[in-house]
Amino acid sequence: MKTLKNKETGEIRRVDNKTADNMTGFASAVWNFITKGEWKKSRSTNKPVEEVVSDKPTTKASKKNAEKKGRNKREGNS
């Protein structure tokens, strides 16, 4: 896998080696190789932030805690 960046649009793509060689060939001066680190950095900064509004009350109990509570109830009833 290779990481490429479009000079014109700034788009970053991860593609297989053969496709990367074709995209950066002599005829195309649009795509350049970049480091995988740049790709990772762009993914972490470009994540859209979604705000979810819900009428339901939220709880912070995890599945594990819920399972423990269920087990405790069963043990107490025996």
State which residues form the domain around 8.
1-47
Q: Domain for residue 21, yes or no?
A: yes
pLDDT, greater one: 38 or 52:
38
Instruction: Determine, yes or no, domain membership for 1.
Output: yes
* Per-residue pLDDT reduced to its tens digit, 44-56: 875 554 445 555 5
Q: Is position 25 within any domain?
A: yes
Mean pLDDT of the chain: 74
Number of structural domains the chain divides into: 1
- In this model, does residue 41 exceed pLDDT 70? yes
Helical ranges in the chain per DSSP H: 17-23, 36-45, 63-77
Whose tokens are 């795509």? That residue is 31
Looking at residues 66-73, what average pLDDT do you find? 60
Domain annotation covers residue 71: no
Residue 37: its pLDDT value, please? 92
CA distance 22 to 13: 14
pTM listed for this prediction = 0.51
